[in-house]
Chain A
Amino acid sequence: MTNTLHRYGPRQEGDYIVFAIPARGINDAGCAGKLQAFLRLASRFNPVNMGNGKQGSLFRPERSLNPFTWFTKRRRHTVPPDRVIEEIQGPCTAAATFDSGDAVCAVLRAAREADLGMSVNVSGPIEGTYRAAREAGITPHSIEYSLEFRGRTDLLPEAPILELITMCGHSMVSRHLARKVASLVKEGRLTSEEGATYLAKPCVCGAFNPSKARLILEEMRHRW
């Protein structure tokens, strides 16, 4: 699973995913509490999204929506962070997404002090990630580089849409939905913040960065 690695575009700074994961068959016994503790400590530093990779992220669809909600504009597009945390009942990837390198540094420092024993990874711009590790007093163990895309790149969508959809590495944020949302934002039917919320819902891992999506949609509103 390399779902956070290959994020296209120039806006790499301000786009970090910090996640904890157990190693199968080695330290996964009784890991649920440790993964919950990790997300709990990450939630103190204002993540823009969180997820457990199984039940979903902070942004979720509603299974039984009252049709009158549409008239009152009181839809609940998010669930409380506690719900995402408590849903962790076994091995999974507990992820929190941040739009600031300083927050990542604070999370790493807290994770080091908590010594939970889970593998902690940061997916982000190389320089910013190493800076955060250094300031947290951590020497990184391993590193995976993204060498980006090859092959039939002519099949990929236009740059800003690609930037939006690669924030979900499992490709659950479809290019068609991204184009529709971008159009609605441009027409003034949605705000860029609402648009980012709709785009965040299909990503079950919580790796989608709605803060970055809002910036992209706002830019597209003027230039697309």
Chain B
Amino acid sequence: MWINPRLCVGCANCVPFCPVGAIAVEPGGVAVIDRDACVECANCYRSMSRENLPPWLVRALRKAAQLLRLRPDPDLDICPTGAITPEPLEWPRVVRSLFSDPTSEHKVTGVAGRGTEEAKTNDVTGRTKEGQAGFTVELGRPGVGVTFGDIERMTVALARLGISFEPKNPVTSLMEDPRVGRIRRDILQERILSAIVEFTVPLEQVPEVLRTVEEVSTQLDTVVSIGVYTKNAPDGSNPLLGILHQLGYRPRRAKVNMGLGRPLAEVR
């Protein structure tokens, strides 16, 4: 993402829209994006309304208001001149957009966003069965960001437990060797908004996995959100909640697949 200095009038409306605080108005009165910090989520470009006014007019009005000691009170979501401009991204920078812009669709998953369909279509795909637990370990969320170097520390530790990463997951597709959780060297420094590591394990392995995730989380320079799912028994119950309670977790919120998808995995 790029802010055209010829169009920018330094109104600073775009500054708070950046989830990682990468935009600042420089002393010259023009907003600039810190390219190292920017995760290419395109939120500044996508979420602001535009008036497409000529910059000379806006600058003159702002100057006049300043001279008269007037403080205009504009709507907070408007870029008056449409100065924010998307730019073509090349490898490896393009991975920032793939993992940060929710409208980007990954070629591997075909799903817009950062993960896969996981539990959401489990009724049809049968990806995780009774007696198994699917994990979604998301790094960088909410609004903190993460480098692939930190993601690799998590994947390497999980790989040591003998788990198999979900092959359709975008992070897995960037691994040099999924058996050891090693990620491509050329993207380790790239910073993204968040990424989800996905895998399925037998229910018995849930405590070991959670212990590892918790332990590695303390060594990373980011936040980790943990999700764990399972298929219910025909009566709607499942043993996973009991395991979580035993481990001291008290989940309050969940995503529940209602089983209305067709054809059901069991039938297929």
Contacts and interface: CB of A to CB of B under 8 A. Distances in A.
Nearest to B45: A61
Contacts of A2: 115, 118, 136, 138, 196, 225, 227, 255
Contact of A150 (B76, B116, B196, B214): B214
Interface in A106-150: 108, 111-112, 115-126, 129-130, 133, 138-150
A139 B17 CA distance: 41
Nearest to B134: A144
Contacts of A152: 144, 220-223
B234 interface: yes
Nearest to B143: A171
A12 B253 CA distance: 7
B213 interface: yes
Contacts of A175: 19, 143
Given A2-B118, A63-B49, A171-B194, A147 B244 contact: yes
Contacts of A123: 253-256
A54 B103 contact: yes
A4 B256 CA distance: 11
B257 A205 contact: no
Nearest to A157: B143
Nearest to A133: B258
B254 A129 contact: yes
Contact of B260 (A67, A118, A148): A118
Name which of A65, A122, A143, A180 has the most chain B CB atoms within 10 A of its CB: A143
Interface string B234-268: 11101011001000010111111111111100001
Contacts of A181: 76
Contacts, number: 326
Contact of A119 (B19, B121, B228): B121
A93 B117 CA distance: 10
A32 interface: no
B230 interface: yes
A40 B128 CA distance: 30
A79 interface: no
A184 B115 CA distance: 35
Interface stretch (A18-26, A42-50, A214-222): A18-26
B245 to A, nearest CB: 11
| 7 nearest CB pairs, A to B | A141-B259, A144-B229, A119-B261, A1-B113, A176-B16, A117-B262, A151-B217
29 contacts: A1-B114, A2-B138, A2-B225, A2-B227, A2-B255, A23-B117, A24-B111, A24-B121, A64-B50, A65-B78, A111-B258, A117-B261, A117-B262, A119-B124, A123-B254, A123-B255, A124-B254, A143-B119, A144-B227, A144-B228, A144-B255, A145-B229, A145-B244, A166-B142, A171-B143, A174-B19, A174-B43, A198-B77, A202-B47
Interface of A: 1-8, 12, 19, 21-24, 26-27, 53-54, 61-67, 70, 75, 91-93, 108, 111-112, 115-126, 129-130, 133, 138-153, 155-157, 162, 165-166, 169-177, 179-181, 184, 189, 198, 201-202, 204-205
